Structure 1
């Protein structure tokens, strides 16, 4: 019999958990963004083509999304803390292993396959699981804060990683990421209980007599796939999947992977270009947190319409901006404000349609769509650069997809939680 371990702060201990998970998501974001600053150093060190390096980044992004729903089910079946610590070990180990690589397949194995699976368990679906387990109220705001961790990852990591890459090549970047992931392990072990009930608490904002749901049983792979099968029979799932595909295509897939290289083509040094992404990170930290607050109060479909519309127009503006300091600042502000602002309203729509229990798992499959889109853009951007010699068409196409996603968002019909989709008890 497990004895509940008491913790300070009462229900507010939920925010301690959020703080640790925020750091985990930040480090995961830093790892996934590292290939953007490693692209030019790897090109110089090994003579690898840019589309080869982009392929490794694309595989990592794809697995980052595909691992999400399985990680959510794994957390339900075997424990959140075990899953999170295993993922951090895999993230740290894969980047350390890459220090010995000499062939492109080794780049794909370490920065593509292994790190993709590891970061996939420390991603948006982790934030959704924490929100549903630890909060009854203020969910949009908290999800906004945790979603903003990816922006903070850009803000904290990219300028530092860019300086390391510029002064010492790609290896110092890999070492820094490995150390950061390993350093978080003791914090997760000591400060993240499995559920509020594990320490004698209820969710933040819940009544004291709230009953914690029973842990999931059965085959977690079967649970994951069966939940997908039920969700896939609904129109709302495919609308959310399509819009999040575009979200990934227009954010970490294209801009996160290729913006620094695009700026390099325009004569802008790597550190200065990384500073541009950091500026976006500042505004996304503001925009995504505000988006969470707005999601608690307004129609999430209308919010998505605005976010995707502004994003599409800003991407179409960039190739013709002249790449002056003023024009790039305008782009960073407009684009940065809604980089990940789409997450809180998308999660709310998923929970409304599929319920608190199945919502995060279904959301994991929606996030998989995000990463499929990101993987496509990571490869597509490198491919277009090789055959055309520039990124202009790639960014214009991405802008058009943003406008299409804005229209699709308004087609989503609000639904009540379905009785047919809960995981087996």
Structure 2
């Protein structure tokens, strides 16, 4: 009697989404929450100036401190995530943000705004930047990294889309304290969500990273995270590509969140635009920023990131040159066109810069990108403060837009030169 060999069982592919996508979604919610906090100083500027009698420079100082700490915290947060785990750092960051917002709601002096919003919220949101996104993608994804990075880049501006118009509407009707308290409660709620769902590494739940052929062991906690962060900085400071990346990204920060987060609403107000309408325009920028970031992630996987950056900066320069005319026309077609085009290139710089940092610095790429992001926030902080000061001295922002456009035209050739001596990953 012939024996028949039973056919080998076929591997059954699970139809359930990979756990990595859930982790990315939770990370996106945390970044959305942090993004909502970054735009609030622009909404607070007018009520605190008119209602409390505080000088615009004092208010802008808190925003500048927030932006600088937002950047300085990022590289240390990336190393801390390697040492203590992503979930613990995220929980601590969201808790710090929530407490800072609650304290801001009961402040009575300008220095308290600098302490609570500038220091506490700056430190907390600084842990939830794109270095956080880079850590998540590095641990959980082998394939689709560009797309995921672009999606998470978009998340911070989705915070504007989801919260900014509602916050502006609430401030018009209830004053500035209730919306700030609401944001604090949102941050603490998201902290609870992260505690339940966020995990540090695929090995924690027994799966392989997305796109990997087999599971990989969880790396041992990296000791001396602060020393490693500073060691990477020392090495980077001796690298020409780092200085090019940092200089370019400082201009990026000055011409995006530095000017828009804290000065857009006052600038629009100067041209007769109400806070709710101005905030809606900023939210529209956020919508197209999200689309632009996702598209940039897709393009970065396929084209030279240096050339993409040069195009993005050139387009941004043209939009900033056209902004004074758009503001004069009010909330009409020209303003809509500005928000669309500017929004598409607003956050589009992030995926190419992450790729270039990884090419230049290999396994230290996320931390090096954190230091490059520090330069971004230094530029943003300087722009926030100097633009508000220029408004006080000159009575308007027209020269500010021209100066930022000129800086973007300088950044375009810096982008083309950045990776000339870089090595490919691995």
Aligned residue pairs: how many?
Answer: 410
CA distance in 1, matches of 2:57, 2:385: 7
Matched, 1:346 2:362: no
Quote the residue 1:5 is aligned against.
Answer: none
Matched, 1:303 2:288: no
Partners of 1:352 and 1:414 within 8 A in 2: no
CA distance in 2, matches of 1:211, 1:107: 45
Matched, 1:229 2:234: yes
State the shift of 1:28 in Å.
0.3
Quote the residue 1:103 is aligned against.
Answer: 109
Partners of 1:349 and 1:414 within 8 A in 2: no
Root-mean-square deviation over aligned CA pairs: 1.5
Quote the residue 2:8 is aligned against.
Answer: none
Quote the residue 2:290 is aligned against.
Answer: 285
Partners of 2:153 and 2:293 within 8 A in 1: yes
Quote the residue 1:238 is aligned against.
Answer: 243
State the shift of 1:87 in Å.
0.4
Partners of 1:11 and 1:203 within 8 A in 2: no
2:336 corresponds, among 319, 329, 336, to 329
State the shift of 1:211 in Å.
4.6
Q: Cα deviation per residue 1:362-385 (whole Å; 9 max; x = unaligned)? A: 111011111001000110110000
CA distance in 2, matches of 1:405, 1:341: 14
SS at match of 1:411: helix
SS at match of 1:100: coil
State the shift of 1:10 in Å.
7.0
State the shift of 1:43 in Å.
1.1
Q: Cα deviation per residue 1:369-406 (whole Å; 9 max; x = unaligned)? A: 11001000110110000000101111111111111111
1:192 corresponds, among 198, 209, 215, to 198
Matched, 1:161 2:167: yes
CA distance in 1, matches of 2:215, 2:178: 51
Classify 1:314/1:73 alpha carbon distance in 2 versus 1 (closer, same or farther; 3 Å). same
CA distance in 2, matches of 1:199, 1:232: 38
- Give the 5 Å matches for 1:133-144: 133-144=139-150
Classify 1:414/1:206 alpha carbon distance in 2 versus 1 (closer, same or farther; 3 Å). farther
SS at match of 1:148: helix
Partners of 2:358 and 2:425 within 8 A in 1: no
CA distance in 2, matches of 1:416, 1:406: 21
Partners of 1:97 and 1:110 within 8 A in 2: yes
- Give the 5 Å matches for 1:19-38: 19-38=25-44
State the shift of 1:197 in Å.
1.0
CA distance in 2, matches of 1:233, 1:124: 24
Classify 1:22/1:235 alpha carbon distance in 2 versus 1 (closer, same or farther; 3 Å). same
Q: So what's the TM-score if we normalise by structure 1? A: 0.94
Unpaired runs of 5+ residues, structure 2, are 1-13
CA distance in 1, matches of 2:243, 2:16: 40
Q: Cα deviation per residue 1:281-321 (whole Å; 9 max; x = unaligned)? A: 11111111000000111100010001111111111110123
Partners of 1:308 and 1:403 within 8 A in 2: yes
CA distance in 2, matches of 1:119, 1:318: 29
Q: So what's the TM-score if we normalise by structure 2? A: 0.94
CA distance in 1, matches of 2:407, 2:146: 26
